[in-house]
Structure formats: structure tokens, C-alpha cells
A = this chain, B = another copy of it.
Amino acid sequence: MWTTDLTLDTVVRLLSENEASARQTLSMVPSETSMSGLAKLPMLLDPYHRYFFNEDDDPDRWHFRGAQRLRDLEMELTVPLLRELGRASYASVRPLSGLNGMTLVLAALGGDPGSTVVTIAPELGGHYATPKVAGRLGLRVEYLRGPDPHTLDLAHAAELLARTRPSLVYVDQSHCLFPVDVKALVDTVRAASPGTLVHVDASHWLGLVLGGAFPNPLDQGADSWGGSTHKTFPGPQKAVVLTRDPAVEQLIRDTQDFLISNHHFAATIGLGIALLEFRDFGPDYTRAVLEHTRRFGRLLTERGLTLAAADRGHSAGHQLWLDTEADGIPAKTAAARLSAASLKVNFMSGLPGFTGQGVRIGLNEATYEGLSGDDIDELADVFVAAVRDTEPPALLAERTAALRRRTPYGARATEGSPLLAAALELCEGALRRTGTAAERILTEAAR
């Protein structure tokens, strides 16, 4: 019927080659980020295989006991750090991804079928999936709109809210250069439709908020906020929902009880480790992301590329949008040239204000990977030379690789570190539990 020719040794070789390549490559995809190796360690270990439900450590409720010894790593590490950095009294760590979290929030707070949910219009950067997920849950969708791709029309919002009385305003900027003014929006909601909840899906900005570079949506009056934990926050592929409102908390709990069973306990511990590290370096890192993004936008502009929102400083966050087609270079060509220079970027249709395809980049991972100061200028030189195809890709790739020899944010693990040694011993223990005939053959071949 179908099968594979790949063998275990080929798979490990491909993974190994990819690691070598990744270490010489810079990802500028704004929705991705690398993260601490230690924070990934739990996924190699026993908690990866276990369910965890007994948050309160009730002796009569250890229906699944495999997580019992590590209960504190979720309830005394991950959850309290989310509360602390997210300025919330309740944190759900159960969603498995951004869309899983969106589905949870829309199912929990969107009201009965037939209710209306208001979200950000696609032409203002609203997420492509929100109207479809809401629609599949039986919710009617109305859009917040604006006079330009970066501004909400609050008068229109007030009229819409008063007319439709939605259950929920779901703020879902995905293609986003400037964050919605949550305070102004909440004030508008409270005045026009007092029963409406406001949730801010800050997936793209989660790290920027947790690090303090962006205002916290709860401080701005939102009822809840959250998002995926692997964009500007250097964490695992999961999502979180945070609130201070016990009624919202209860709705989230009641819904996640049937929408999410296995919540990926090891990744949840990994999130705690990532938060513990981030508490130290997050404020510096997130300030640097904003600074590098603005600087990079200015440098690209000075070098003649066309960027969106030039009149507004290009970006308040980590994203920049390039209109290379205005410069005579198809976006997909620009992306392919950048890739040959070991710079990975998004290209896509549908960026707000664009008629053709655009290139969407972020400075988050470059910053996490340790670039700063003059590195940003060098990165701009490589970037522009690649887009314009003015230097051989191999030379540009070498310059990118040189930029990757920086130290990632917070990285301090050195030879002889007891932490590294302990972690490696754990890896070896896990990896010994491996193998098949292919491994047996390899082992015998090595004798």
C-alpha cells in the first residue's frame, strides 16, 4: 500500500544535519522562536507520558498518579510564574496550541449558539481562523474595522457593540504592527454593551507583555488574556489563558474539562522552566526586541526597501512587513533569496494594506539568539543584499552564520556545569530506552 525507505540511522542523520544547519541559520519568522534547551528537557523524560488533573493534590483524587511527584512543577512553578508575570489571579495552562486556546475561549466565553462574537477584521490583521472557529461553534461574527490597517474605528465599534450586544469581544491581532489600544476599546465596550466580555489573544505579543514591554491587558481592563507561548515568548508549543475574574475562570475550567484532557504535562513543566529563566532576562530581552525591530525597519528603509507603516515608525512590536513587490521583487523571490542567505522569513498574501504578497519578519528570535548593537546593522546589510541579489548567496550565508555565533539570551551553560551534567545524564537515561533492529545492526556494525 504505502511504506517508507527511511531507516533510523538516516532519520538521526537528517536530524543531525538539520541541527547543524539551524545553528547557522537565523529565523525571522515572527510566529516562531527557539527556546532554552533545559526547558525542553522534560519532554524527553517520564512526565511526557503522564496525565495530570489533581491540581489541588487532594489525596482522594489521584485517579492518575504518574504526575504525582511532579505536581509542584505545574502548581508551584508554572502557574504561579504565569500569575506573577501575567498579573492574573488564575492561569489555565491546559491549551495545547494557540488555536486550541482560541477554541477554548470562544467555546467558554462566546455564549450559547446564536450569540455574537466581535473580533478584528482580517484587513486589520485579525487571525484567519477566528471567524471559522466561532462559526463552527454556532457563533455569529462581527468585525471591528478601521480607517487604516493599523487603527480601530472606536465610533464604529461603539455603534456595532450597542447594536449587536455581543457575548464577547475577541481581540485577535495576528498580522500586527501596532497593538490595539485595549484600554480605549474596553472603555468603549463597557459604555456601549456592559454585559460583553473582552478577551485579548496576545499570541504574538505574549512575551512582550510578560516581559513588561507591552501593557498588560488585564491592567487595561480586559476580562481575560492569553495566547500561544512560542512567538515573542521563548517557550513551548502551548497556550495559556489568564484572568482575575472568578466567573471567567469558572467558565474556562468548565469548558476545558471536556475540550482538553491530555494537556501535555511535560511541556507544561517546560513552560515553567522557560518562565523561570524569562523572569531574569525577559525585561531586557523584550525591550531589546522593540528596539531592534524599530532599528531594523529604519535600516531597511535607509537601504531602499519599502516597508509598511513608514509614517509611524514601522512597528511598535516585533513584526515588520516588507512590500518587496513595490520594489519590483516578488515576495516569494525575496523569501527564496533570503533563504539562500540562511535567513528564514514568511511571505504571504493578505497582509493588511497589501494588494500583492508581502514579506513578514520578526526580530524576536534574532534577539533571543543574542544579536544586538552592530549585529543589527550587519543583519540589515546581509538582508538587503540578499533581497536585491547583489552578493553571492554563499557569502551572505557565511555572514549569517557569523551572526549566529552570539550567545543566546540567558544562555550560560558551560563545560563542567553541574546543571548541564545532570541534564545530560537524564538525556542519556532516556535515550538508552531506544532502538530496533536498525539500531542493533548499527551497534553490531560498530564492533
Q: Which of A31-39, A189-197, A300-308, A390-398 contacts B (4 or more CB under 8 A)?
A: A31-39
> Does A372 reach chain B (CB closer than 8 Å)?
no
**Across the interface, which residues of B come within 8 angstroms of A416, CB to CB?**
443, 446-447
Instruction: Choose one: B23, B38, B434; the contact of A423 (CB below 8 Å).
Output: B434
> Does A437 reach chain B (CB closer than 8 Å)?
yes
**Across the interface, which residues of B come within 8 angstroms of A277, CB to CB?**
8, 434-436
Is A261 within 8 A of B70, CB to CB?
no
> 8 Å CB contacts to B: which residues of A313-365?
332, 335-336, 339, 344-348
Is B422 within 8 A of A439, CB to CB?
no
Identify the closest chain B residue to A47 (Cβ). B18
> Does A184 reach chain B (CB closer than 8 Å)?
no
Copies of this protein in the assembly total 2
Identify the closest chain B residue to A256 (Cβ). B99
Interface residues as binary, A424-437 with B (CB distance below 8 Å gives 1, 0 otherwise): 11111111111111
**Across the interface, which residues of B come within 8 angstroms of A417, CB to CB?**
435, 439, 442-443, 446
> Does A155 reach chain B (CB closer than 8 Å)?
no
Instruction: Choose one: B4, B39, B447; the contact of A77 (CB below 8 Å).
Output: B4
Is A14 within 8 A of B129, CB to CB?
no
Identify the closest chain B residue to A48 (Cβ). B40
Interface residues as binary, A1-39 with B (CB distance below 8 Å gives 1, 0 otherwise): 111111111011111111101110001010111111111
**Across the interface, which residues of B come within 8 angstroms of A262, CB to CB?**
97-99, 228, 230, 237
Is B419 within 8 A of A8, CB to CB?
yes
> Does A251 reach chain B (CB closer than 8 Å)?
no
Q: Which of A156-164, A378-386, A407-415 contacts B (4 or more CB under 8 A)?
A: A407-415
> Does A309 reach chain B (CB closer than 8 Å)?
no
Interface residues as binary, A47-62 with B (CB distance below 8 Å gives 1, 0 otherwise): 1111100000001101
> Does A141 reach chain B (CB closer than 8 Å)?
no
Pairs across A and B, CB under 8 Å, 24 listed: A2-B89, A8-B419, A9-B419, A11-B77, A14-B69, A14-B73, A17-B69, A22-B66, A36-B433, A37-B44, A39-B434, A40-B430, A49-B237, A59-B336, A228-B262, A237-B262, A280-B438, A414-B443, A417-B435, A418-B442, A419-B438, A420-B431, A423-B434, A424-B427
User: Which residues of A line the B interface, CB within 8 A?
Assistant: 1-9, 11-19, 21-23, 27, 29, 31-51, 59-60, 62-66, 68-70, 72-73, 76-77, 80-81, 83-84, 87, 89, 96-100, 103, 107, 113, 128-129, 132-133, 136-138, 228, 230, 236-237, 255, 258-264, 269, 272-273, 276-277, 280-281, 332, 335-336, 339, 344-348, 408, 410-414, 416-420, 422-440, 442-443, 445-447
Task: List 5 other contacts, CB 8 Å, given A16-B425, A40-B430, A424-B424.
Answer: A9-B418, A27-B50, A63-B346, A132-B258, A413-B431
